[in-house]
Amino acid sequence: MTDTYFERRLPVLPVRLRTLLLIRWIAAAGQLATVLVVHFGLGYELPLTYCLSAITVLVISNLVMTAMRSGGARLGDGQALTLLVFDALQLSSLLYLTGGLDNPFAILILAPVLVSATILSRRATITLTALAVLSITVLAYFHFPLPWSPDRLVLPLPYVLGIWTALAVATVFISAYVWAVADEARHMSEALSETQAALARAQGLAALDGLAAAAAHELGTPLATIAVVSNELSREIPADSPLAEDVQLLLSQSERCRDILADIAAEPEERGGMPFEALPLSVFLQGVIDDTASGVADVRVEIDLDAGEDEPNVGQRPEILRGLGNLIQNAEQFARSRVVVSVGWDAQNVRIRIRDDGPGFSAGVLAVIGEPYISTRAERGDHMGLGIFIAQSLLERSGATLSFRNRGGGVVAISWPRSMLDLTADEPETGH
């Protein structure tokens, strides 16, 4: 099978109607001022009635849109495209009346295309680009003459074709460039948002410890009151009373609650450390594998431990849990039958290597891996690479460095300085 990767098609954000209306009002004012200055100021005879009619159509369409919808309304991709197509046709009609491509203002045919490239989808931008090229092609041959006097200026055909070529190339190239830059910005913005959301979800569990300690502190006072009242009742109620057993039960349960809350509110060093707060690296990884198993049939995940002395003890940091989990899941999804997580360490570094026996990464993917919205393998085109981006971002946040390569399948190598990962590591020496 041939390895390919696919760019994810992000939903285009709605465009505010007010933004397009403002651009169209500026266009109408500019067109009106130019026509009046050329006709009355410079004394060139324009088909004034037709020109003013074309401008009036633009003004009326703006007024209708303002009356029908609130300026804060948001337009979908198709609605915004309809308005920009109208603008391109209106501008083309005005150029037709004022010299076609002989008119220096023919460059303005780029305006609707650039607006689309900035805020609309690729399909909308291609549509407007094709319309702009078609318009300048028609205007190259069919248009009112330039209003020179006393003689009409007729430019030679090679010069007109040169103008057409320049406008066509500029329309295609600039629109493609602007769309690519804007789309990359949209991709990066959404990918960063996804990364922040993933980290926030992972950190939510860590925040529960602080919330529990705060709750224990707040509940301490009413619980102490219950304990005092229970003690008083136990002294006042005779031992042979039917209520004596209930009072003793209330007293014992209040004592139990007080012990539980005291343990929750205690500092880790006071309560001997929270269960599983720090785990040996091999145990930590086995937990990650168990928690993030993707359920892919016939794929087993193994740990290859390079056993040595002084195994690092790793804290359950959310970014490491989520980052390693994403990489292991990705390897499972593309493996044929086996994923091996190799672990090694020495006095300076901790190393983890995740290797699968799948098709590996294509050369094109390796060149851009870690960027958002690329498929990491060929035959699973539904995976768009955001998991790799999130994993790399989270693990680099923890101090890791990552590399990707092929060796009988895809290989992801991760390395940390031991001092940044091992909770029991000695403080680094300051000398050299």
Per-residue buried b or exposed e for 315-332, using 16+ beta carbons within 10 Å of the residue's own CB: ebbbbbbbbbbbbbbbbb
Does some domain include residue 210?
A: yes
Q: Could you tell me if 217 and 258 are in contact, meaning their C-beta atoms sit under 8 angstroms apart?
A: no
Taking each helix axis as running N to C, give the angle between helix 122-141 and helix 157-236, from 0 to 180 degrees, rounded to the nearest 10.
160
pLDDT value of position 36: 93
Same domain, 137 and 236: no
Same domain? For 181 and 39 the reply is: yes
Cα–Cα distance measured from residue 40 to residue 34, given in angstroms and rounded to the nearest whole number: 10
Q: Which of 265, 293, 321 is the last residue in one of the domains?
A: 265
Summarize pLDDT for 47-68 with one digit per residue, the tens.
Answer: 999 999 999 999 999 999 888 8
- Does residue 166 share a domain with residue 23? yes
Q: Are residues 209 and 330 in the same domain?
A: no
Please check whether residue 271 lies inside any domain of the structure.
no
Is residue 306 one of the residues assigned to a domain?
yes
> Which residue in the block uniquely carries the two structure tokens 């940091």?
317
What is this structure's pTM? Answer: 0.49
Say whether both 155 and 224 belong to one domain.
Answer: no
Question: Pairing relation of β-strands 338-345 and 300-305?
Answer: parallel
Domain contains 395: yes
- 112 and 203, same domain (yes or no): no
The answer on 313 and 248 residing in a single domain is no
In 100-243, alpha helices (H): 110-119, 122-141, 157-236
Instruction: Note the pLDDT tens digit of each residue in 291-344.
Output: 776 555 678 888 888 766 788 888 878 788 888 888 888 888 888 888 999 998
DSSP character for 171? H
If you search the block for the tokens 């004596």, which residue do you land on?
244
Give the whole-angstrom CA distance, residue 265 versus residue 259: 10
DSSP string, 196-209: HHHHHHHHHHHHHH
Q: Is 194 helix (H, G, I), strand (E, B) or coil?
A: helix
Q: Tell me whether residue 158 is in a domain.
A: yes
Q: Which secondary structure element, helix H or strand E, spans residue 29, and what is its range? A: helix 17-36
Please give the Cα distance from 176 to 163 (Å, whole number): 20
- How many Cβ atoms sit within 10 Å of the Cβ of residue 379? 12
pLDDT digits (tens, 9 = 90+) for 359-371: 888 877 777 776 6
Bridge partners of 16, per DSSP, are 74
Peptide bond into 156 cis (omega under 30): no
Q: What is the DSSP string of 51-99?
A: HHHHHHHHHHHHHHHHHHS-TT-EE-HHHHHHHHHHHHHHHHHHHHHTT
**CATH label of the domain that carries residue 312:** 3.30.565.10
Question: What is the residue type of 171?
Answer: T
| Count: domains in the chain | 3
Q: Is residue 10 part of a domain?
A: no
Together in a domain, 69 and 52: yes
Q: Are residues 108 and 208 in the same domain?
A: no
Residues 131 and 254 in one domain: no
Phi first, then psi, for residue 76 (nearest 5°) are: -75, 175
**Cα–Cα distance, 227 to 273 (Å, whole number):** 28
Structural domain contains residue 9: no
Q: Identify any residues that bridge with 412 across adjacent strands, giving them in sequence order.
A: 354, 404
Q: Which of 187, 206, 239 is the last residue of a domain?
A: 187
User: Which residue, 216, 234, 265, sits at the end of a domain?
Assistant: 265
Output Rg (C-alpha) for the chain, integer angstroms: 35
Taking the C-alpha atoms of residue 406 and residue 51, their distance in angstroms, rounded to an integer, is 65
Both 34 and 155 in a single domain?
Answer: yes
66, part of any domain: yes
Task: Please list the pLDDT of the chain residue by residue as tens digits (432 residues).
Answer: 333 333 344 445 567 788 888 889 999 999 999 999 988 988 888 899 999 999 999 999 999 988 887 666 778 888 888 999 999 999 999 999 998 888 889 999 999 998 888 888 888 899 999 999 999 999 988 888 877 766 666 778 888 888 899 999 988 999 888 888 887 777 777 767 766 666 665 555 455 455 666 666 677 778 778 878 888 888 888 877 778 888 888 888 878 777 777 766 555 445 444 445 678 888 888 888 887 765 556 788 888 887 667 888 888 787 888 888 888 888 888 888 889 999 988 888 899 999 998 888 887 777 777 666 555 554 444 444 567 877 888 888 888 899 998 988 889 999 999 888 877 655 444 444
CA dihedral of 133, 136, 140, 146, whole degrees rounded to 10: -170
Strand partners, 349: 417
Q: What share of the chain is helix, strand, coil (3-state, %, to 5)?
A: 60, 10, 30
Are both 104 and 165 inside the same structural domain?
yes
- Structural domain range at position 205: 196-265
Helix spans in 237-278 (H): 244-265
